[in-house]
Structure 1
Amino acid sequence: MEQESKSETVRLQSAQDTPPVNGENEDYDPHKHRQLPTATNNLETLVHLLKCSLGTGILAMPQAFARAGLVIGVLATVIVGAIVTHCLHMLVRAQYDACRRVRTPLLTYPEAMKVALAAGPTSLGRLTRPAAVAVDIFLVVYQLGICCVYIVFIADNIKKVVDPHYVMSIEVHMAIILVPLIAFNLIPNLKLLAPFSALANVLTLIGLGIIVYYLVSGERTSEPLDLWGSAATFPLFFGTVLFALTAVGVVVALENNMKTPKSFGGPCGVLNVGMTIIVLLYVLVGALGYVFCASKCSDSITLDLPQGPLASSVIIMFAVAIFISYGLHCYVPVEVVWKGYLLPRLEAGGSQRITMWEYALRIALCLLTFILAVAVPRLGLFISLFGALCLSALGVCFPAVMEACLAYGRREKARLLLLKDAFLVIVGLIGLVAGTYTALLAIVRSFG
């Protein structure tokens, strides 16, 4: 799931380097110690969660269904959605337990991982720092992957609109949007990006409504539908669904900013209600899009819309919305790399050009995503690759490991939790290896 708020999540509020303490600290409730000048209520949080699910991921669902088959696509999307929702619950609970252990209101994902491993078996204590670095690496790679996807998406869709008038290669379109992307990426803080984000949300909602109208009322393909798919292409489906559904960062940020955070994770809480609606939307768009174009589904359903002013307006709206979202998502790796690694070293070295180095980092990361997008302009395969590679770890494996470590020592619960968490780690690792291998193989073959 792509989410503008992901960019706010990785470094939402850094906790002090408080060493873990023994016991559960039952008397300390992190929720009661959070200072939230602009806290959101339950409805506002639900709206944020829903609007953050609308992006390139949902537009890629028809092609994902073409890889899994109609029946398997529906069933697997629901099953993966249930697993993802459970893992997000695990992550929120694990972060809460970690905050309680070190008696601090908020922890970032890497910091919570360190606390969790420190609470587990002694043999894992030495892995606290490497594990936190691994979380940072996966977060950076994933967010940069989203930015690569966005560059390819914008270029593909602009090309579809421009081609009837003047044909240019996809690489030329990427080069044209590079300078505006760099300029937008130099905006230094999220508050300045907020008005642009609001515009992106409006454009996305309008565009998605028009797409559903086309899928329902347009002429469907006469090609027979594949109901069961193929085992060879299912890993690509798995990676796409993970990319679309998994909101690792946004969930943590939304829960951290709620007036009533205990309402977030209940049986009828914000997360369950929001994820239920999101999964239903993805099933709807995926199934309708696959029925509309069958095996000929493009990487984005916008590329399958018939020629015409209305379809072109939809494509332009999504291109503008995704362009705006690029700056939000690139903000995350900038924050992680800058504040976590470069800035401390520059300050320790007495550098007098701190601002120049920060802007240089922003430009460098933007150029890196541009180079990767030009090298591999395969939108659908990019989505599958980064979904399988990063979100299998961030959204499934790491939360399971954190929960198991934090439950270590609770003899009455540890066995059941360990079995369940071990199963989830295995599922995540299989998805990571199989999805990444299949996507990389498909990328290589696409150049053949």
Structure 2
Amino acid sequence: MPVAFKSAGLSVGVFATVLVAIVCTHCAYILVTCAHELYRRTKVTMMTFPDVGEVAFATGPPWGRKYAKCARVSILIGLFGAYFGTCSVYTVIIASNLQQVIDHYTGVVLDERIYIATLLIPLIVLCWVPNLKMLAPVSMIANLFMGIGLGITLYYLVWDLGSPADLPQFGSWYALPQFFSITIFAMEAIGVVMPLENNMKTPQHFVGICGVLNLGMSAVTMVYILLGFMGYWKYGLATEGSITLNLPTEEFAAQSVKILIALAVYCTYGLQYFVCLEIVWNGVKDKVDPKNSRFYEYVVRTLLTTSTVVLAIAVPTIGPFLALIGALCFSFLGLVIPIFIEVVTFWEVGFGKFYWKIWKNIFVIIFGLIAMVTGSYTSVLDIISLYTEEPVQTPAGNFTSNSTLF
């Protein structure tokens, strides 16, 4: 979030984060509302995100029914791309934090790609955990590490602050798409909306003014604004892709934060990875010998994990890589897809007085497409700059070359 604020500016970052939170929350609300309507039509009590998309088109207007399978496949591709990219970004974050600590104590500065490559075996071991139930204790440890790391990080951020008026209140038009891409990546959780609602004891409490969705997103938004504002206020244009990378490496408390966050992200990797694994394995398990299905499952696990590490080695940068995933995958998955689902679900029911739902959906579609197109474009340019010798203008407005980026 601090690097997102670096792209938007201090004041614009606050208001734009609230805007992104409202749009993301509303799209999650749309998805759940459509699911409830489809439950009533089909007499079922539970659906996944791909199920909602397929059934919405299959039971919607006649012109849309032929696109039911296409809707399901599109959602599965979007989910896979989003969480596969997230796993690769997590790999870079783990390596970057560990690199600073190890380089400090050894005095040997190695290429970040070496650290990423050494994570392959530990990540494969983690991804061989049979099911999510066995990952629950690992998730609890990750939450503990993340909480301690967050507390120590905030301690560093509140000291020796300058005047916020000295920082740009607005970044630049070029950098603004990266702000939205990174913030959408951070806040968008459309992939867990339906699993969460499906596993609640009282699903009717998920939506509503004081429902789980609004309360949870309000708390998340406040934390993200606090971290983004304080981090950018503290480090200004020197803000790194992960705020922990700005902490002084020579101090023990800062070193502990880097290690704790690296371990927390490592533990969380497994949870994100299982989304990718489920999609891939469900697509291939019927094509392998049932007698050796367990063997082939672990082959798929190994190849999938290796692919995320290879992608991280190819693009060992946090900010632009993270922005690309947010723009390309989460904007499409979390903003564009729910709008189409709502349109086909309520096509015959109506869209309210003066078609207000249509006008609202047009705004969200435009917002999502602009974030997807411009965010992807600027992120790709920044990634390409890693492999060019000529200086390019970065979102912060300064000029750099691949020597400084590496």
Q: What's the counterpart of residue 431 of structure 1?
A: 371
Code of the aligned partner of 1:357: Y
What TM-score comes out, normalization by structure 2 length?
A: 0.91
Q: Tell me how far apart the structure 1 counterparts of residues 229 and 350 of structure 2 sit (CA, whole Å).
A: 45
Q: Tell me how far apart the structure 1 counterparts of residues 57 and 209 of structure 2 sit (CA, whole Å).
A: 28
Q: Conserved in 2, the CA contact under 8 Å of 1:236 and 1:439?
A: yes
Q: Conserved in 1, the CA contact under 8 Å of 2:320 and 2:382?
A: yes
Q: Does 1:321 align with 2:261?
A: no
Q: Conserved in 1, the CA contact under 8 Å of 2:47 and 2:194?
A: no
Q: Secondary structure at the match of 1:168?
A: coil
Structure 1: any 5+ residue segments left out of the alignment? Answer: 1-60
Q: Does 1:110 align with 2:53?
A: no
Q: Conserved in 1, the CA contact under 8 Å of 2:47 and 2:198?
A: no
Q: Conserved in 1, the CA contact under 8 Å of 2:161 and 2:233?
A: no
What TM-score comes out, normalization by structure 1 length?
A: 0.83
Q: What's the counterpart of residue 302 of structure 2?
A: 363
Q: Tell me how far apart the structure 1 counterparts of residues 140 and 35 of structure 2 sit (CA, whole Å).
A: 29
Q: Secondary structure at the match of 1:164?
A: helix
CA shift, 1:326, in A, is: 1.0
Code of the aligned partner of 1:343: K
Code of the aligned partner of 1:391: F
Code of the aligned partner of 2:89: V
Count of residue correspondences: 384
| 1:390 aligns with one of 316, 324, 329 | 329
Q: Conserved in 1, the CA contact under 8 Å of 2:98 and 2:258?
A: yes
Q: Tell me how far apart the structure 2 counterparts of residues 282 and 412 of structure 1 sit (CA, whole Å).
A: 34
Structure 2: any 5+ residue segments left out of the alignment? Answer: 389-406
CA shift, 1:250, in A, is: 2.3
Matches within 5 A, 1:403-418: 403-411=342-350, 413=352, 415-418=355-358
Q: Tell me how far apart the structure 1 counterparts of residues 23 and 227 of structure 2 sit (CA, whole Å).
A: 20
| 2:211 aligns with one of 250, 258, 269 | 269
CA shift, 1:401, in A, is: 0.9
Q: What's the counterpart of residue 379 of structure 1?
A: 318
Q: Does 1:214 align with 2:214?
A: no
Q: Does 1:171 align with 2:100?
A: no
Q: Tell me how far apart the structure 2 counterparts of residues 117 and 290 of structure 1 sit (CA, whole Å).
A: 44
Q: What's the counterpart of residue 32 of structure 1?
A: none
Q: Tell me how far apart the structure 2 counterparts of residues 223 and 164 of structure 1 sit (CA, whole Å).
A: 34
Q: Secondary structure at the match of 1:333?
A: helix
Q: Tell me how far apart the structure 2 counterparts of residues 62 and 423 of structure 1 sit (CA, whole Å).
A: 27
CA shift, 1:197, in A, is: 0.6
Q: Tell me how far apart the structure 2 counterparts of residues 403 and 62 of structure 1 sit (CA, whole Å).
A: 34
Please list every run of at least 4 consecutive aligned residues from structure 1 whose deviation after the TM superposition is greater than 3 angstroms: 218-224
Q: Does 1:235 align with 2:174?
A: no
Q: Conserved in 1, the CA contact under 8 Å of 2:335 and 2:368?
A: yes
Q: Conserved in 1, the CA contact under 8 Å of 2:80 and 2:279?
A: yes
Q: Secondary structure at the match of 2:295?
A: helix
CA shift, 1:429, in A, is: 1.5
Code of the aligned partner of 1:160: Q
Q: Tell me how far apart the structure 2 counterparts of residues 437 and 99 of structure 1 sit (CA, whole Å).
A: 39
Q: Deviations over 1:106-129 (max 9, x none)?
A: 111111101111233322211111
Q: Conserved in 1, the CA contact under 8 Å of 2:25 and 2:217?
A: yes
CA shift, 1:331, in A, is: 0.8
Q: Does 1:283 align with 2:225?
A: yes
Matches within 5 A, 1:343-354: 343-346=285-288, 350-354=289-293
Q: Tell me how far apart the structure 2 counterparts of residues 378 and 412 of structure 1 sit (CA, whole Å).
A: 44
Q: Tell me how far apart the structure 2 counterparts of residues 157 and 145 of structure 1 sit (CA, whole Å).
A: 19
Matches within 5 A, 1:148-159: 148-159=88-99
Q: Conserved in 1, the CA contact under 8 Å of 2:164 and 2:233?
A: no
CA shift, 1:87, in A, is: 0.8
